[in-house]
């Protein structure tokens, strides 16, 4: 396992941490691959009964796609890029054991899709959730499909078209997360939650998880099929490159201003 993913096993629980805090735990190809390997190991290890997915640091769970990789993608490579997400998305969805996502800070774009793939979502008070692809020039297809399943049409359209960030309190109100835990109690309460899940009958959990996926399967598969076409159109328009450059320029300006304070 490389340094971009920290993978630990404690008793019956696997702890998986996206470890790129210097870029708000953004996803690049290496991170996606290593995350896939960690999830796969958890799936196969019979001594493990529950997993926790989180991000390093206190500022971000995952800010989404690393623009250094997505900035210059050519239209004919759009499907290849979309397909790079499929293996570890499928691995998370296909788990026969519970996975808890602890959202600790910014959770945006494809980074927001990760907790939507998990079974249970817990957040820290500073968590913020957003389908922010629109502000990077992208359509959000798979993400909006996952969000639709969890929140319904109205909020999915709202978040996808505006790119706004939803607070932890709003997420709790709408049932997107199960609870908000203060930082000082986070480790203790997450461990207790995992212990409770580990105590449940594994066959019942496995059977229910399979059923949950069967309900969602047609829409999930269709979203990946259409996402490739949608991103081809997006990149062909030139908008992602323009909007990502704007985003990176704003981020650089904010960072420079903060360093002067």
Per-residue pLDDT for 178 more than 60?
Answer: yes
Ordered structural domains, the chain, with CATH:
5-202 (3.90.226.10)
Mean pLDDT rounded to a whole number for the chain: 92
CB burial string 108-119: b at 16+ within 10 A, e below:
bbbbbbbbbbbb
Which residues, listed in sequence order, are joined to residue 60 by a DSSP beta bridge? 106
Residue 1's pLDDT is 56
Q: What is the DSSP letter of 206?
A: H
| % of the chain surpassing 90 pLDDT | 74
Reported pTM: 0.93
As a whole number of angstroms, the distance between CA 42 and CA 97 comes to 9
Element (H, E) at 112: helix 110-117
How high is the pLDDT of residue 140?
Answer: 92
Confidence of residue 177 (pLDDT cuts 50, 70, 90): very high
Closest CA relative to residue 132, chosen from 34, 247, 261: 247
Confidence band (pLDDT; 50, 70, 90) for 257?
Answer: low
What distance in Å separates the CA atoms of residue 5 and residue 1, rounded to the nearest whole number? 7
pLDDT in tens, 42-95: 999 999 999 999 999 999 999 998 877 766 777 788 888 888 888 989 999 999
pLDDT over 90 (residue 190): yes
Q: What is the dihedral of CA 238, 107, 52, 186, to 10 degrees?
A: 170
């Amino acid at each position: 396992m490389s340094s971009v993913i920290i993978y630990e096993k404690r008793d019956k629980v696997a702890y998986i941490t996206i470890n790129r805090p210097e870029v708000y735990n953004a996803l690049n190809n290496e991170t996606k691959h290593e995350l896939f390997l960690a999830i796969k190991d958890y799936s196969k290890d019979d001594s493990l009964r529950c997993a926790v997915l989180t991000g390093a640091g206190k500022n971000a769970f995952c800010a989404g796609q690393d623009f250094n990789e997505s900035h210059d993608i050519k239209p004919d490579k759009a499907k290849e890029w979309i397909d790079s997400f499929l293996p570890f998305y499928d691995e998370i969805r296909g788990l026969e054991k519970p996975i808890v996502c602890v959202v600790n800070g910014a959770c945006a774009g494809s980074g927001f899709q990760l907790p939507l793939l998990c079974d249970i979502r817990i957040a820290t008070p500073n968590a913020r959730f957003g389908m922010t692809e629109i502000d990077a020039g992208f359509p959000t297809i798979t993400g909006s499909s996952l969000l639709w399943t969890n929140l319904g049409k109205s909020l999915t359209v709202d978040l996808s078209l505006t790119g706004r960030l939803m607070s932890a309190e709003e997420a709790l109100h709408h049932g997107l997360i199960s609870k908000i835990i203060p930082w000082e109690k986070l480790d203790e309460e997450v461990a207790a939650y995992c212990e409770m899940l580990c105590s449940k009958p594994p066959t019942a959990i496995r059977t229910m998880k399979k059923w949950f996926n069967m309900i969602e399967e047609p829409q999930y598969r269709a979203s990946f099929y259409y996402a490739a076409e949608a991103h081809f159109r997006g990149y062909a328009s030139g908008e992602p490159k323009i909007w990502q450059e704007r985003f990176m320029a704003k981020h650089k300006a904010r960072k420079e201003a903060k360093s002067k304070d």
